[in-house]
Amino acid sequence: MTAINFDSGHQDMVHDAQFDYYGRRLATCSSDRTIKVFDVVGSESVHLADLKGHEGPVWQVCWAHPKYGSVLASCSFDHRVIVWKESPENTWSQVYITPKKLHVSSINSICWAPHELGLILACGSSDGAISILEYKDGNWDSHKIPNAHRVGCTSVSWAPSYASSALLSGAAPSAPAKRLVSAGCDNCVRIWKCSLETGVWEAEEALKAHTDWVRDVAWAPASGTTRSTIASAGQDGQVFIWREKAGSQGKGGGNEWDRTLLRDFKPTPVWRVSWSTTGDILAVTDATNAVTLWREAMGVGWTQIDSQQAAAATAVATGSSS
């Protein structure tokens, strides 16, 4: 695993950088109000495009699944989400901009749903609400979860459309489930589920352990484990791993979740957590700009690993020889 460094050309702080599905294109965003797209091959990077349209700092970018073409979403302090589409090659246009009335404060986090569910984007805002944007029949529809988090929502992440247990048994549910997890300034992680009957988003469970703002949350991809897994990171310096207990009954009506403290980084806040595509390695970024990699070992628990170990583990899991 090799680190690549290059000058992004942004004129202010870079807040996010995300590779596309194939790992060939990189999108970055900044307080300079711009998004940049690069082609990255090996140790070389080529600047392809500047995307301008936001009126404030751009916090996050997120690529849609290539099933829907070359589509990128961005969110900003200007209360808006912009969906960008590339067509033809290297020509980008704005195909959707959220109306300003949808959110009345900064939109801090965006996440595309699993592609099996459709072209659906979740957005978390400082106004405390979560909005769900869905492209259907040529139009964008929006649904809102009001008052999802008191004071504000900092992060959103979708659950895999099919549970790991269904994948292992070979029996998929009749319809993929729409579930997501969110984090907020109320020190809480919350699980949400969309009712198949009514289409209304309902609170499923509230996970409480953090003692300060929860800065980020990430639902792990479906993998060899039979239990849904979520990672959360907080201003309190703590990183927790949550695992769903099937068949149990939590206080909110959903299943109970077991909690494991991965590490307490106190007094350093933790900004971001991100799972590998195989769902067995977790990257943790703290306020010192340090990135650490963690993997769970049988009988040992969560241990820190180096980049070479992570590359080897990923190669084994994906069947890659490189």
Can you give the residue ranges of every domain in the chain? 14-318
Tokens matching residue 69: 């073409």
Predicted local confidence at residue 321, as pLDDT = 42
Could you tell me if residue 277 is left (phi over 0), alpha (psi between -120 and 50 degrees) or otherwise beta? alpha
Segments of the chain scoring below 50 in pLDDT: 165, 167-169, 315-322
Predicted local confidence at residue 210, as pLDDT = 98
Distances (CA, A) of 38 to 19, 54, 245: 9, 19, 42
Residue pair 194/178 in contact (Cβ under 8 Å)? The answer is yes
Architecture of domain 14-318: 7 Propeller (2.130)
Q: Quick one: how far is CA 32 from the chain centroid?
A: 23
d(CA 87, CA 64): 15
Query: pLDDT, tens digit, for every residue of 180-216?
Result: 999 999 999 999 999 988 999 999 999 999 999 999 9
Predicted local confidence at residue 309, as pLDDT = 63
Query: pLDDT, tens digit, for every residue of 246-279?
Result: 766 666 567 899 999 999 999 999 999 999 998 9
